[in-house]
Amino acid sequence: MRTTARSALYTVMERAARKAGRGLARDFGEVENLQVSVKSPSDFVSTADLGAEKTIRAELERARPTFSFLMEEGGKIVGKDPDSVWIVDPLDGTTNFLHSIPHFAISMALVQKGDLIAGMIYNPVADEMYWAEKGRGAFLNDRRLRVSGRRDMGEALIGTGIPFRGRGDHPHYLKLLEATMGHVAGIRRAGAAALDLAYVAAGRLDGFFEIGLNKWDIAAGILLIKEAGGFVGDLDGDSDPMETGNIVAGNARLYEPLGKLLRAAGGSGK
């Protein structure tokens, strides 16, 4: 039995996510054959990204032809309605995808006049559809989501992203990890920021932080967490994470202490 009535907007997003997800799942099944492919691994993944993005854009455009887009691969596309913007990441967790790790997702959100209206994060391998609409709650498939109820940082499981070769300030990130890991039950680096945020909304993670993300990495997850009763902010506590890309999130009890630990260690490092 469904927990809430599906809106027309949900139907539009679900159709796009599932159609693109079928293509990604098919491509994911070909990853093991890359060693005999004439394409390089990066070419293969780029083809998967672009194919999923093309499918999502076509489906969303068919239903809402005047809306604009901000997409990881295609960039900014201004439609007749510049105040309504689809924000799309067709494949979050590319490195996982390339290494046959079934932890990746499609992420899409709708912003209208600067306000997050709807978000959806879909893992096609697990068939887990996380979705939220402003004021209507957050859900995993048909189940209502709430952030975790943990109160003690010593019991908390925190997600993060860790910079890799050629990306980010490695020494500064080590300071953030050192400041955090001595106070929590564990830190996880799963490799897909959108899913990490969805996991906070679902109570699987108690908090999350990362530096240098893009709008398409976090837009849907921000709405999910807020609609699930959690809190999201900028790592330095003074800006909008949608603008800075530096994000900290958590439940009502742990959001502030996690943020304080991270700020004491230098925050975003700016």
The pLDDT, as a whole number, for residue 37 is 46
Distance between CA atoms of residues 104 and 125, nearest Å:
8
* Nearest to 107, CA basis, from 92, 124, 97, 127: 92
Q: pLDDT value at position 131?
A: 98
Tens-digit pLDDT profile for residues 207-216: 999 999 999 9
Count Cα neighbours of 203 within 13 Å in the Cβ-side half-sphere: 15
The predicted structure's pLDDT at residue 238? 85
Same domain for 114 and 169?
A: no
Determine the pLDDT at residue 167. Answer: 77
* 231-234: strand order across its sheet: 186-188, 157-160, 207-210, 247-250, 231-234
What letters, b where the CB count within 10 A reaches 16 and e where it falls short, cover 177-197? bebbeeebeebeebbbbbbbb
Domain span holding position 81: 8-144
CATH code where residue 169 lies? 3.40.190.80
CATH number for the domain including 128?
3.30.540.10
pLDDT for 194 equals: 98
Q: What is the pLDDT of residues 46-67, one digit of tens each?
A: 788 889 999 999 999 999 999 9
Indicate the SS3 state at residue 262. helix
Whether 52 and 107 share a structural domain? yes
Same domain, 111 and 167: no
Do 17 and 116 belong together in one domain? Answer: yes
Q: Which stretches of the chain score pLDDT less than 50?
A: 1-3, 35-39
Q: What does the pLDDT read at residue 34?
A: 56
Q: How many Å apart are CA 98 and CA 252, to the nearest integer? A: 36
